[in-house]
Structure 1
Amino acid sequence: MRNLVVILMVFFTFTLIGCGRNELGINLEKMETAVVDKAMLDHGVKKGKYTRSDIGIVSICKVVRKTPTKVPQHYIVHWQTSDGQEWDMETMIMEVYNVRNGETEYIPDGHSDYYIKTNECIYY
């Protein structure tokens, strides 16, 4: 009986640890913050006087680079405002985030034409 209890405790511990992950293996909190930070720089979002809470993520999809250049993993994110008036289906976000003075710093890595969207996605 004691062995059964130990086995069940180990099983539930690993189950709980696995629940905190997502299918892309990314830090969703950092990713969501980076997406909202980038969306807030969009001209239409600024002009429409939207707030951070008006930005909603629709999907985050892993991409693969078409060239052999070694770069951090990138993702294509589809976001939109709460009223659906402003949106972007090709926001590029890197897995590596640089944060300075509370602001996310983006390192450009070329145009999204360098990437192919995969079917590995998280949908909200």
Structure 2
Amino acid sequence: MSRSKPVSRGSGSGVSVGQVLMHLLPAVLFFALFAAVGFLHVTSRVLVVDMGYRLSKAEAEERALIRENDRLKLELATLKNPARLEKLAREKLGMAMPAGPHVIALPVELPGKKRPSRVEARDARGVRVAERGAPAAPH
């Protein structure tokens, strides 16, 4: 059997702790750099995936708002339908088309032409009355 000799800790044959650390320092720095790059890569990928989810959610919300806007435009067009408005006026408000002498013709105002400050009354009510089907009398 062989016997091992005890290692002497003399100044000439031993390796100091400082020398060991100096040999390990490049490996430790390389590992730290590798870990930092890996951490930055994972962080950036997580941010990209998160932004993708946000973008997808925003696009879905945009599509929902566009559908809602289209639905509201259709509803507005339906509510402004002249036939519907006339039916509402007749049935709910009790309105009817005016008879001939009840139609009042107002003079046409041309742009740039000043309206007279005083208008003369043509009948007892203080307004000119036009007959239905007859052209308005010139003033």
Could you say whether these structures have the same fold, taking a TM-score greater than 0.5 normalized by the shorter chain as the test? Answer: no
Bigger RCO of structures 1 and 2 (CA < 8 A, at least 6 apart): 1
The TM-score, its normalising length taken from structure 2, stands at 0.26
Larger Rg: 2
User: Would you tell me which structure has more helix in proportion to its own residues?
Assistant: 2
TM-score (norm 1): 0.28
